[in-house]
């Protein structure tokens, strides 16, 4: 038992945690940018 499977599992989980948060930030930036753009357009039309 050298722990190779555990090594792969640990790096996999830690990578997934970072990937999840980076994707969360990306999707929030995309969503909020489009929302602000919509609001700006509506304000200009008024």
Partner 1 sequence: MHPDLSVRIRNGIIVTSMGILGIICTALLGIFYAPGVDPMAWNAPEAQRIFYWHVPFAWSSFLAFSMLFVGALSWYRNRSEWGWRWVSTGSDLGLLFGAGVVTSGPIWGSVEWGVPWDWGDLRLNTFALLTGVALFLVLSRRSQPDGQETRDTLAAIGLFGFALVPITAIATTLYQKRHPGIVVVDGEGTGLDPLMRTVLMFGTVSFMVLFVGLWMLSDSVLRLEDTAEKAKRRLD
CA distances from 7 to 3, 10, 11, 26, 38 (A): 6, 5, 6, 29, 47
23 sits near partner 1 (criterion: CB under 8 A): no
What minimum distance in Å lies between the beta carbon of 8 and partner 1?
A: 9
21 sits near partner 1 (criterion: CB under 8 A): yes
Task: Identify the residue whose tokens are 């997934």.
Answer: 16
CA distance 38 to 46: 13
Interaction site with partner 1 (CB under 8 A)? 1-4, 6-7, 9-11, 13-14, 17-18, 21-22, 25, 28-29, 32-33, 35-37, 39-40, 42-43, 46
């Amino acid at each position: 038992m050298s722990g190779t499977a555990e090594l792969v599992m640990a790096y996999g989980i830690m990578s997934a945690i970072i990937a999840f948060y980076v994707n969360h930030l990306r999707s929030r930036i995309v969503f909020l940018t489009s929302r602000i753009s919509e609001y700006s357009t509506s304000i200009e039309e008024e």
